[in-house]
Chains A and B, each alone.
Chain A
Amino acid sequence: MTDQTIIPTAPQPIREVSVDDALRLAADGYRIIDVREPLEWNGGHIPGATLIPLGDVVERIEAAIPDRSTPLLVHCAAGARSGRAVARIQALGYTNAVSMRGTTGEWRRLGGAWEAPEPLLTPEQQRRYSRQLLIPEIGQKGQRRLLDAKVLIIGAGGLGSPAALYLAASGIGTIGLVDDDVVDESNLQRQVLHTADRVGVPKTESARMTLNALNPQTTIVEHRERLSGDNVERLIARYDVIIDGTDNFDTRYVLNDAAVKLRKPVVHGSIYRWDGQVTSFVPFAGPCYRCMYPTQPPEELAPSCAVAGVLGVLPGIVGLLQADEVFKLLLGVGETLAGRLLMFDAMTTTFDEVKVWRDPECPACGEHSPYLEAAAPAAQATVAAR
């Protein structure tokens, strides 16, 4: 046999086997060589097989299989490339290589072992999110993460509108909306989720219509209720990140304490006329709302937009800064606003920031926190702690 490999004579006929026989040979211990391309391999392959694309076979077979008498089962998608591969490696002196004539689909149907990675994205998703997939920090894996993510937005109003629109557009898989209000004409100046013909419609329903028109693949969950101490834990428990766009201190403190307890990052936004503030509270990794303001101020310190007024574009800007935080928290990239309070002045178009420290005496997340033991480890699974 070895003589044939040294003397360049007519090519030796290649040995082909049926898929049935291939299964038996694999069970007998034949080494499996997959000569398809890496992209095909990534879509699924025989466990234990060695990937050597046909174009590389001549260069790489010796390093992979030094012993030329090793029994080899070579396969591709249907049997054409593997036939050529066997011819080439026989020419190199391999004496015991066979080509599987048949498809990998048949292999699987006949019970052959197969290992397929979780499908990351469908072709439709590849097209829809192509501009995001090009970003190195996102890519297929990051996009998959966004598609699997669940974001809860408290308030389908001024801050929630821009945040929800961009989160849905970019493929966040599930968006929950907490709001018990109906669309009012005076909302339309800034709450761009809603439209003039939906005045009187529940805000969560109006929001769902807009968001699903933009991205039918996003699951919109309507929570038509007002956040309170009674429902807060139930509402936030199944979400990865919370966007806080509420309008009163009661809700902010109720949300903060529950979020610390359940280890849910909260992206905080607040606005007043021409001024906006944004920060992220990542429980036990950064400060919480009570680290900044330990006790709830009297309501007269917090006039609502209905009393004080607000420039329509301001919640647009602040809500999108909140959405930006959500992406970083979900993807675990960049620098979030945890520990920094960003202040935006729309009148002078300036951004400033101050540092926010974790307060060791904080009643919610300090050294004597009542929530230190209450950690739900799975709660933060999809969010990179910072």
Chain B
Amino acid sequence: MSSVRIPPVLRDSTDGQRTVSASGATVAQILEDLFDRYPALRARVTEDGELSQFVNVYVNDRDVRYRDGLDTEVGPDDTVILLPAMAGGVR
């Protein structure tokens, strides 16, 4: 099982969990496994079956856009990080 970091703005879709485990050998499989359990995530992370342009996905520290996108391989010890743009500063 790989672990997936859930960013704060998406945690309302994962019952508040910060890290969840997911199984799969590619980013696509990992995400499908997540969406099965947390259906609300799908619309936040993907758009028409593609990764949303507002959410970056990293395997360990590498952006999958610069690897094989949804087909990027994920090993059992890898960490997948979902990272939407975060606007917040504080005025």
Within 8 A of B (CB), among A272-315: 272-275, 277, 292-295, 297-299, 301-305, 308, 310, 315
Is A351's beta carbon under 8 Å from chain B?
Answer: no
Contact of A190 among B56, B66, B83, B90 (CB under 8 A): B90
Known A-B contacts A272-B9, A301-B54; the reply to A354 vs B89 at CB < 8 A is no
Q: Given that A275-B8, A297-B54, A301-B54 are known contacts, is A355 also in contact with B88, CB under 8 Å in the complex?
A: no
Q: How far is the CA of A274 from the CA of B56 in the complex (A)?
A: 20
Within 8 A of A (CB), among B51-85: 53-54, 56, 58, 61-63, 66, 81, 83-85
Whether A171 is near chain B, meaning CB under 8 Å from some CB there, is no
Residues of A within 8 A of B9 (CB): 272, 301-303
B5 to chain A, nearest CB (A): 8
Q: Give the contacting residue for B89; candidates A155, A295, A297; CB below 8 A.
A: A155
- Asked if A336 is at the interface (CB within 8 A of a chain B CB), the reply is no
Q: A246-B89, A302-B88, A303-B9 are in contact. List 17 more A-B contacts (CB 8 A).
A: A155-B90, A155-B91, A157-B91, A159-B90, A249-B87, A274-B8, A275-B8, A293-B54, A295-B54, A302-B85, A305-B89, A315-B89, A315-B90, A352-B5, A353-B61, A354-B83, A357-B66
Cβ-defined partner of A270 (8 Å) among B53, B61, B66, B86: B86
Chain A, interface size: which category?
35 or more
| Contact present for A270 and B89 (CB under 8 Å) | yes
Select A271's contact among B81, B84, B90, beta carbons within 8 Å: B90
B86 — which chain A residues lie within 8 A by C-beta?
270-272, 275, 277, 302
B1-12 interface code vs A (CB 8 A; 1 in, 0 out): 000010111000
Question: A308–B87 Cα gap in the complex (Å)?
Answer: 12
- What residues of A have a CB within 8 angstroms of the CB of B5 in the complex? 352
**Is A20 in contact with chain B by the CB < 8 A criterion?**
no
Min C-beta distance of B35 to chain A, whole Å = 18
A residues contacting B by CB (< 8 A) are 155, 157-159, 179, 181, 187, 190-191, 244-249, 252, 269-275, 277, 292-295, 297-299, 301-305, 308, 310, 315, 341, 345, 347-348, 352-357
**By the criterion CB–CB under 8 Å, are A297 and B85 in contact?**
yes
B85 & A293 in contact (Cβ 8 Å cutoff): yes
Say whether B37 faces chain A, with CB atoms less than 8 Å apart.
Answer: no
- Docked pose: A269 CA to B90 CA in angstroms: 10
Q: A293-B54, A347-B18 are in contact. Are A356 and B87 (CB under 8 A)?
A: no
CB-defined A-B contacts under 8 Å, sample of 11: A158-B89, A158-B91, A249-B85, A271-B89, A275-B8, A293-B56, A297-B54, A298-B54, A308-B88, A315-B89, A355-B63
- Known interface pairs A303-B9, A354-B63, A354-B83. Does A294 touch B89 (Cβ–Cβ under 8 Å)? no
Chain A residue with the shortest CB-CB distance to B66: A357
Give Cα A309–Cα B88 distance, bound, in whole angstroms. Answer: 10
Complex: A356 Cα to B9 Cα, angstroms? 20
Shortest distance from the beta carbon of B50 to any chain A beta carbon, whole Å: 14
- Closest CB in chain A relative to B15 CB, distance in Å: 16
With known contacts A293-B53, A355-B63, A252–B87 Cβ distance under 8 A: yes
For the complex formed, measure the closest distance between the CB of B54 and the CB atoms of chain A, giving whole angstroms: 4
In the complex, A364 Cα to B66 Cα: how many Å? 18
Cα separation A248 to B91 with both chains bound (whole Å): 10
Given the interface pairs A275-B8, A354-B58, A354-B81, the reply to whether A244 lies near B89 with Cβ below 8 Å is yes
> In the complex the two chains form, is B61's CB within 8 Å of A354's CB?
yes
